[in-house]
Amino acid sequence: MKSQHAYLENPFTIKLVELNESILKDFHLRNGFNFSANNFHLLNNTEKYISGVTKLQYNLFHVVEQIHFIKIFLKRINNKNYLQSNGINELTYIQYHTEVLSHKVHTILEVMKLLINEVYDLKITAKECSWNNLIGKLDKNSQPMRIIDNFFIAFESLIDLRHLNAHRGIYIDSEKDKIEIDFGLSIYEGMERLGMDLDMEFKKKFPMFLIKDKIKGHRQNRIKFIIRIEETIHSYIKEFLTSIHPQLIKKLTII
């Protein structure tokens, strides 16, 4: 079984750990150090560069870890009665976390761009750190740029769903629609909200046990989908960080 954090085992991350350990070892002994204040001004230019790169790597790891959290949330839905009483059924719960997934995948791509900008010291503002502006300063065929381009291609459909959701409020899930419409869940819920009983003929035609089975299958499929995404992301992150390691070393020698 692969380690959940195997992507951390790359030369770039290992080097940053070593560099930060070296900085922190006697940092508190520097003239003007104050435990209750921000001591960023005590860093030299090289250390400030390391700090900026480290912060963005941390941001990247934080978002990557949230993909794992989404999987955990979907594996076990706690307090279903409480959620149901607040208008959140199991399909809505799955939808919410799928929407979060698409946003997090897109965020990973954006933070990778920011990390390239920081490591190469391109001085592009965060707001303007787009693909087009990056290739205006870097060869698009360089390994780091090829990797983020491949990342985009691998997750393009999910990123497109994110854009539809963020800008138009659209959520596309044919399996969810089928359960709600073709299997009658929306009718069950609509009648329940109105305080009305469904006739036995409808219940026989659209038995609730079948709907619950379809929902269970939908959740299991979504978990498998996220596991595949998580594994792919980890592979890309390790490859990406390894690709920018030579530039980190080069930059440290010229600052």
Note the pLDDT tens digit of each residue in 158-194: 999 999 999 999 999 999 999 999 998 899 888 888 8
| Residues sharing a CB contact under 8 Å with residue 71, sequence separation 6 or more, in sequence order | 223, 226, 227, 230
Q: For the residues 212-229, what does the mean pLDDT come to?
A: 96
Q: For the residues 78-107, what does the mean pLDDT come to?
A: 94
Cα→Cα distances 139→109, 146, 204, Å: 18, 9, 64
| Residues sharing a CB contact under 8 Å with residue 97, sequence separation 6 or more, in sequence order | 70, 73, 74
Q: Out of 17-21, 153-157, 188-192, 221-225, which region has the weakest mean confidence (pLDDT)?
A: 188-192
Cβ–Cβ under 8 Å, residues 176 and 218: yes
Query: What percent of the chain is modeled with pLDDT above 90?
Result: 85
Q: For the residues 63-87, what does the mean pLDDT come to?
A: 93
| Residues sharing a CB contact under 8 Å with residue 169, sequence separation 6 or more, in sequence order | none
Distance of alpha carbon 64 from its chain centroid, rounded?
Answer: 5
Cβ–Cβ under 8 Å, residues 93 and 83: yes
Predicted confidence at residue 190, as pLDDT, reads 86
Predicted confidence at residue 76, as pLDDT, reads 92
Tokens 């596309």 -> residue = 172
Query: How far apart are the C-alpha atoms of 231 and 220, rounded to whole Å?
Result: 17
Predicted confidence at residue 143, as pLDDT, reads 98
**SS3 call for 125:** coil
Cα→Cα distances 145→132, 231, 242, Å: 11, 21, 13
Query: How far apart are the C-alpha atoms of 169 and 113, rounded to whole Å?
Result: 26
| Residue 167 burial by Cβ neighbours in a 10 Å radius (0-12, 13-18, 19+) | exposed
- How would residue 40 be classed by pLDDT, with cut points 50, 70 and 90? very high
The answer on pLDDT for 130 being more than 90 is yes
State the DSSP H helix or E strand holding residue 15, giving kind and residue range, or none if neither: helix 11-25
Predicted confidence at residue 1, as pLDDT, reads 42
Predicted confidence at residue 219, as pLDDT, reads 96
CB atoms within 10 A of CB 149: 15
Q: What is the dihedral of CA 114, 119, 124, 126, to 10 degrees?
A: 30
